[in-house]
Amino acid sequence: MPGFELFSDLERKEVNDVLDNGVLMRYGFDGMRKGHWKAKELETELATTFKSNHVQLVSSGTAAVSVALASAGVGAGDEVIMPTFTFVASFEAIMMLGAIPVLVDIDDTLSVDPKAVEAAITPKTKAVMVVQMCGSMGHMDALKQVCDSHHLLLVEDACQAIGATYKGEPLGSIGDLGCFSFDFVKTITCGEGGAVVTNNKDYYINADHYSDHGHDHIGSDRGAETHPALGYNFRISELHAAVGLAQVRRLPEFIAIQKRNYTILRNALENISGVTFRTVPEGGVESYAFLNFFLPNYEASQKVITEFKNNGVDACWNYFDNNWHYIRKWNHLKDLKSLMPISKEVKQGLEYLQTKTFEQSDSYISRNISCLIKLSWTEDEVRERAEKMAESIRSVLNS
């Protein structure tokens, strides 16, 4: 991760097809295309990859979450339960629909705690969004059971976990709807792009219409299409889809490299006293895009990060003070710093953030170190890195 590290002639060929015919838009201009429909081809490839009946490409992972929720009828005043540890796009995508993000604690999977989800359900709850952060997953069976028993949607944000599986099923295909991102730093990149995945035909049709101004896409005359419902512009371009088409065909190659590099690093750390690893639920297989481990306390994690930097070990973070990925520094959400008026329902729905604390999440995130697994490392570079990481951790924990 990310796929841009290994761009090749495969990506160039797909892009050149688009430049050759000159049609950058995914819809229409049939006579000019010379048979090239990159977005349609990518949707077909992704449906196979995700073992799902339907895939709708959109402009980003953020758009995918909004489109997925909207396609299932989530909107004004509805509550969507989500984790404290994610990317800010999670609550942005919910709020854009006029819905209310209800943040709950994570557990040692680094995803939503099913018990916290259960406790947060109200009559307004419409969906539970499990975010498969850093290449792994939450307790999917338990989360599915909670959603089924309360008749709630289970939405998977698998934007960081393409290639991971649970009991043989791809992440993103397990819930009612799955969401993926193909931005510049994802394992598969389109530059910008995303996808909504579902086995529900109605949700798929809604997503297809909603992401393109409500167009029904019936027939071959775009000007004659009807608009069954309101929609917006979340289209992906043919150029972006072309890059993704080459990349998705290389996913097994990318996952194999990530697994090799991840395994070398994990083997170097797993016997160090004081180091524990995130829980991967039984039956789960990570995408190996990140190595996540816990240290005894926050102070140790900060000292180790400093030692990593001193020893030339990059791409490792502690998210406790990060204002992109953890609730603690999301002051723009807590204080509702918006360029436009926010509805009364959403304002009232978010009042809980003024007093709500998340001690359980704090305990995990403050002690966690997350290390990106790069595709471009040679095996020798990974082994050298592993030695430096182990040495840095031991020097802190033994001091």
Predicted confidence (pLDDT) per residue in 234-275, tens digit: 999 999 999 999 999 999 999 999 999 999 999 999 999 999
**Across residues 277-295, what is the average pLDDT?**
98
The chain-wide mean pLDDT, for the chain, equals 97
Residue 245 and residue 98 share a domain: yes
Residue 393 and residue 279 share a domain: yes
Q: How confident is the model at residue 2 (pLDDT cuts 50, 70, 90)?
A: confident
Q: Edge-to-edge strand order for the sheet containing 284-285? A: 169-170, 165-166, 284-285
Q: Determine the straight-line distance between the first and last CA of the chain, rounded to whole angstroms.
A: 34
pLDDT at 9: 97
Residue 263 and residue 235 share a domain: no
Res. 76: pLDDT tops 90: yes
3-class SS of residue 169 = strand
Residue 204 and residue 164 share a domain: yes
Residue 292 and residue 207 share a domain: no
DSSP string for residues in 216-269: ---SS-GGG---SS---B-PPBHHHHHHHHHHHTTHHHHHHHHHHHHHHHHHHH
Residue 368 and residue 237 share a domain: no
Cα-trace Rg, the chain: 21
Q: How confident is the model at residue 351 (pLDDT cuts 50, 70, 90)?
A: very high
What angle (nearest 5°) sits at the alpha carbon of residue 147, between those of residues 75 and 229? 25
**105-121: pLDDT as tens digits:** 999 999 999 999 999 99
Contact present, 4 and 207 (Cβ < 8 Å): no
**Across residues 324-346, what is the average pLDDT?**
97
**Phi and psi at residue 8, in whole multiples of 5°?**
-145, -175
**Across residues 310-331, what is the average pLDDT?**
97
pLDDT at 1: 82
Res. 301: pLDDT tops 90: yes
**353-375: pLDDT as tens digits:** 999 999 999 999 999 999 999 99
Q: How confident is the model at residue 350 (pLDDT cuts 50, 70, 90)?
A: very high
CA 266, CA 306: separation in Å to the nearest integer?
20
Distance, C-alpha 310 to centroid of its chain: 31
Task: Tell which of 230, 250, 270 closes a domain.
Answer: 250
- What stretch of H or E contains 140? helix 140-150
DSSP letter at 199?
A: S
Which tokens is 259 given?
């697994």
The CATH number of whichever domain residue 280 belongs to comes to 3.90.1150.10
Number of domains forming the structure of the chain: 2
Residue 393 and residue 283 share a domain: yes
Residue 28 and residue 91 share a domain: yes
Distances 82 to 323, 330, 360 between C-alpha atoms, Å? 17, 14, 15
Residue 261 and residue 244 share a domain: no
Q: How confident is the model at residue 284 (pLDDT cuts 50, 70, 90)?
A: very high
Q: How confident is the model at residue 216 (pLDDT cuts 50, 70, 90)?
A: very high
pLDDT at 399: 85
- Bridge partner residues of 83 (DSSP): 104
Res. 187: pLDDT tops 90: yes
Q: How confident is the model at residue 3 (pLDDT cuts 50, 70, 90)?
A: confident
Q: What beta strand segments (E) does the chain contain? A: 54-58, 79-83, 100-104, 125-131, 153-157, 165-166, 169-170, 177-181, 194-198, 276-277, 284-285, 290-294, 316-317, 368-372
Pick from 147, 164, 176: nearest CA to 68: 176
Residue 283 and residue 243 share a domain: no
Whether 186 is catalytic is yes
The CATH number of whichever domain residue 33 belongs to comes to 3.40.640.10
Torsion of CA 297, 298, 301, 306, to 10 degrees: -140
**Across residues 36-42, what is the average pLDDT?**
98
Residue 239 and residue 257 share a domain: no
Look up the domain containing 158 and give its range: 3-250
Res. 149: pLDDT tops 90: yes
Among candidate residues 186, 201, 303, 344, the one labeled active-site is 186
Distance, C-alpha 126 to centroid of its chain: 20
**Phi and psi at residue 147, in whole multiples of 5°?**
-65, -45
Q: How confident is the model at residue 32 (pLDDT cuts 50, 70, 90)?
A: very high
Task: Tell which of 227, 250, 273 closes a domain.
Answer: 250
Task: Tell which of 232, 250, 268 closes a domain.
Answer: 250
Q: Would strands 177-181 and 54-58 be described as parallel, antiparallel, or unpaired? A: unpaired
Residue 203 and residue 270 share a domain: no
Contact present, 255 and 288 (Cβ < 8 Å): yes
Res. 126: pLDDT tops 90: yes
